[in-house]
Amino acid sequence: MKISVLGCGRWGSCIAWYLDKTGHEVLSCGLADAPEFITLKETRKNDYLEFPKSIEISSDLGYAVERAEVIVISISAQHLREYMADISKHNLDGKIIVLCMKGVEEATGCRLSEVVADFVDEEKTPIAVWVGPGHPQDFIRGIPNCMVIDSNNHEVKTMLVSKLSSSLIRMYIGNDFLGSEIGAAAKNVVGIVAGMLDGMNYQSLKGALMARGTREIARLIEAMGGNPLSAYGLCHLGDYEATLFSKWSHNRMYGEKFVQGVKFEKLAEGVMTTKALKKLADKYDVEMPIVSVLYDILFEGKSFEKAMEELFERSVKPEF
Average of pLDDT values for 293-320? 81
pLDDT for position 318: 66
Sorting pLDDT into bands at 50, 70 and 90, what band is 320? low
Q: What is the pLDDT of residues 50-60, one digit of tens each?
A: 999 999 999 99
CATH for 2-173 (3.20.20.70, 3.40.1080.10, 3.40.50.1220, 3.40.50.720): 3.40.50.720
The yes/no answer on whether domain 177-312 falls in CATH 1.10.1040.10 is yes
Report how far residue 109's alpha carbon sits from residue 189's, in angstroms, rounded to the nearest whole number: 15
Q: Rounded distance, CA 61 to CA 6, Å?
A: 8
* Rounded Cα gap, residues 147 and 113, in angstroms: 18
Residue 129 has what pLDDT? Answer: 98
- pLDDT for 222 equals 98
pLDDT at 300 over 70: yes
- 164 phi-psi bin (left φ>0, alpha ψ -120 to 50, beta other): alpha
Question: pLDDT band at residue 304, thresholds of 50, 70 and 90?
Answer: confident
Q: pLDDT tens digits, residue range 120-164?
A: 999 999 999 999 999 999 999 999 999 999 999 999 999 999 999
CA–CA separation, 257 and 157 (whole Å) = 38
**What HEC string does 35-77 produce?**
HHHHHHHHHCECCCCECCCCCEEECCHHHHHHHCCEEEECCCH
**pLDDT tens column, 160-170:** 999 999 999 99
Q: Is residue 186 over pLDDT 80? A: yes
Please report the pLDDT score of residue 312 as a whole number: 72
pLDDT for the residue numbered 190: 97
* Residue % of the chain over a pLDDT of 90: 93
What pTM was estimated for this model as a whole? 0.95
- For 157-221, the three-class secondary structure string (H helix, E strand, C coil) is HHHHHHHHCCCCEEEEECCCHHHHHHHHHHHHHHHHHHHHHHHCCCHHHHHHHHHHHHHHHHHHH
Of 95, 187, 206, 278, catalytic:
187
Could you tell me where in the chain the CATH 3.40.50.720 domains are found?
2-173
97-125 pLDDT, tens digit per residue, is: 999 999 999 999 999 999 999 999 999 99
Give residues with Cβ within 8 angstroms of 97, minimum separation 6: 70, 71, 73, 116, 120, 125, 126, 127, 128
- Residue 93 burial (10 A CB sphere; 0-12, 13-18, 19+): exposed
Contact yes or no for 145/169 (Cβ under 8 A): yes
**Banded pLDDT at 311 (limits 50, 70, 90):** confident
**Cα pseudo-dihedral 102, 196, 211, 300, rounded to 10:** -80
Do you know the residue count of the chain? 320
**27-63 pLDDT, tens per residue?**
999 999 999 999 999 999 999 999 999 999 999 999 9
Instruction: Note if 206 is an active site residue.
Output: no
For CATH 1.10.1040.10, the residue range(s) in the chain are 177-312
Secondary structure letter of residue 287 according to DSSP? -
Does pLDDT of 313 surpass 90?
A: no
pLDDT, averaged across the chain: 95
Beta bridge partners of 130: 149
% of the chain at pLDDT higher than 70:
98
